[in-house]
Structure 1
Amino acid sequence: MTDTLTPVLTDTWDAEGSWKLATYEAAGGYTGLRTALTRDPADLVQLVKDSGLRGRGGAGFPAGMKWGFLPPPDGGPRYLVVNADESEPGTCKDIPLMLASPQHLVEGVAITSYAIGCHHAFIYVRGEVLHVYRRLLAAVREAYEAGHLGTNIHGSGFDLEVTVHAGAGAYICGEETALLDSLEGRRGQPRLKPPFPAVAGLYARPTVVNNVESIASVPGIVAHGADWFSSMGTEKSTGHGLFSLSGHVTRPGQFEAPLGITLRELLDLAGGVREGHELKFWTPGGSSTPLFTAEHLDVPLDYESVGAAGSMLGTRALQIFDETTCVVRAVSRWTDFYAHESCGKCTPCREGTYWLKQILHRIEAGAGEAGDIEVLLDLCDNILGRAFCALGDGATSPITSSIEYFRDEYEAHLDGRGCPFDPARSTLFDDTPQAPPALAGAGGH
């Protein structure tokens, strides 16, 4: 089954000093940039369109089409902003990529900037991941010193400045317009659209906002061609992608494979669900996507197939839960997160996530009331499609889908006046791990 893996972005992750420029260049890094600088920028935009690359941040919008939405040059600046504010529960692909091979992203930034006529690009990274922030700063510094960034890059006449910006820690800043407000120094809250960022984005100028993995995929497309990229994946969901497996799986981690692979195949690669247990439910694209169950093991993990099955491919964050897990408890934990991260700008999300949280808490605690399930569904119906951005919609997805597949479990909480599951059994380990011995304090011997 290992032939289903496609090491492109992950090809050098196991190399010594994989994050260093010398390691990246030894594996063919920056070949794409040198090639791109000899071509017409419009040809590069068309190349990315032809490859079928779709945004790897969740929505799956065609990247080349997004680039093509920029208006004709008017003599003013235009910007590229890389969304590296990865923070949804279970989503963990961009941070490992930036940590293990940041030059993939830096080269992608240079190529994309050249293609869209940008001379100042920004990488907005989550401030809490300080180790990643430092590694990106070092990678950008190395690229400047090697002439891959800066003035007159490789004698082409193209100039590019790259700024790595650390956000202050807010899930809402993963929404592209909230990210732009944060980058401008304002409170991170979604903007009303239109105008879209392509017309009036950062500093009210034309802006492309793309996910880390999307931009990191560009150098390979330029170096090897659109046909090479589209030969992987499916007809409408082309290329390779990082699939993050976590939870009750024997070997959790990142698996780079063509889009269209199934969870059954990925579980084979990861050693299956932990020994002695069986799959109960899982998320195909992070905690904001509708849940799947064991009956969806063979659904191809591409945008169309996952959508047709009732969920979203999202960030390909596959969280695996076995039969020991209380679905109400899991959904309640996720809802706590969305209620906490709501920016409060719109009433449906601000008030709706608060009440969803309260009702789920009382159901799990055994204080639920008859009709609570219907109230949950009614609240979700009043949030879905009515919130200012996708956070509200995402908060409803695990609730409505879990009630669809596990309504009997919700009813058992109500009838039995509490959770029928033993929380100790739903941990990732059969034995509760012991806390390490206390370390000596400062100045201790």
Structure 2
Amino acid sequence: MNTFFSLWRRFSRISNLKLHVLLCISAMLFTFLVNPVFSQTEVDNLAVVVNALDYDDWDITSSLSIIDLDEPNLKRAIDDEVVVIGDVPSGMLIHGHLAYITRFKPFSDILNDGILIVNLEQREAIGHIPIELGAYPQQMALVSSNKMYVTCDNAHQVHVVNLDSRRVTKIITDPSFNKTTGITILNGKAYVTNPAWEWDAAAGRSIYHQSSVTVIDTQTDTVLKSIPTPINTTGIVNDGDSTVIAKTTGDYNMISGSLILIDTTTDEIITTVNTRTTPGSIAINAQKQLFIQGGWQHPGLLIYDVPNQKWIRDRNDTLTEFAGGSGMVFGPDGNLYIAKPDWTQSGLSTLLVMAPDETLLKTYDLGYGTDKVAVVQLMPRNEDTNDDGFVDIKDLIIVSRDFGQRGPGITGDVNRDGVVNILDLILVSRHF
């Protein structure tokens, strides 16, 4: 009942709402609270895949594909290249029914740097969050329902984005920032990787400086600490408890990569583990086991037990069937989803689904440069009447404004039955 009284107080401040609308809302909330039927919602289980290859000479444009994981026919399950991304996509974050995709255009004076917003239910691009030209946005992390951090490696910055206004509201800078790339958030702090590399054109190779992980207080947006790490620290994840795991790739030659385990209570390094290979993408499961792509020297998946600090599968015992993956993520079903890209014109990219017992469940045939993947349980979101990515009091106000109207295409007609009534209010409230 606390939900009812809280919403009543909020609505009582809105002077232009009519009494009958308030009574309708009261009836709606009472019905919602006592009738479990209204809380039943169908869920679509989807894999969202970024096809990152973008090459004009081949007439190939980066795009988004969506896979229905509940569809038994693997071909019918794929809605391939359903949304055009354009430019170079570098990261993806799913929040509710919206996908946020960072993208940039290297060596261009066209203002394309930013974040593309895609409505996954409507399967169309609905907006763009601009990032300063040449910043090269990379990875994103959700601080709260309305606040996002974005790493920008070319600008050596972290941008703070307000998701409601779809604008950058603050830019975090620090001397420790150097090619800011990976980011993860745990226990009120953001951990940002700094690979600290630069291209030496004369020598024709990359030069690596001191890498680090920068710690940011997410409430104040201030830097708390910089943790020195081995060279080329790129990827970073957390175990959902008290440990952050950063991955270094080394110099792709003489220096191998490593795993750095960081205690988030002290922000000190617990241990550094030499992988004795050049590790690729990483993903962590609910058992706090870290899965690592082994690179070209030792292709396949390595597995490291974070709590026990020991290898389950090292470089000499990889799961070779799952080699060559780029983006990886665990779904709520416990399966590991691996995007395996083809960077040629052949378009032979795939999405592999690995079961918890390390067997191959499914292979989805996709398009060009399948690079990143996210798994989402999508609920119907017609209740998001203003299409801002959230179902909140603003949507209730819109339905209340349109209450009693009849006809096609009314914004407040959530269930599309041609009339705005109590049923539409109920539909919004159950997703509040």
Instruction: Give the shorter-chain TM-score range.
Output: under 0.3
TM-score by length of 1: 0.24
- Comparing both structures, which one devotes a greater share of its residues to helix? 1
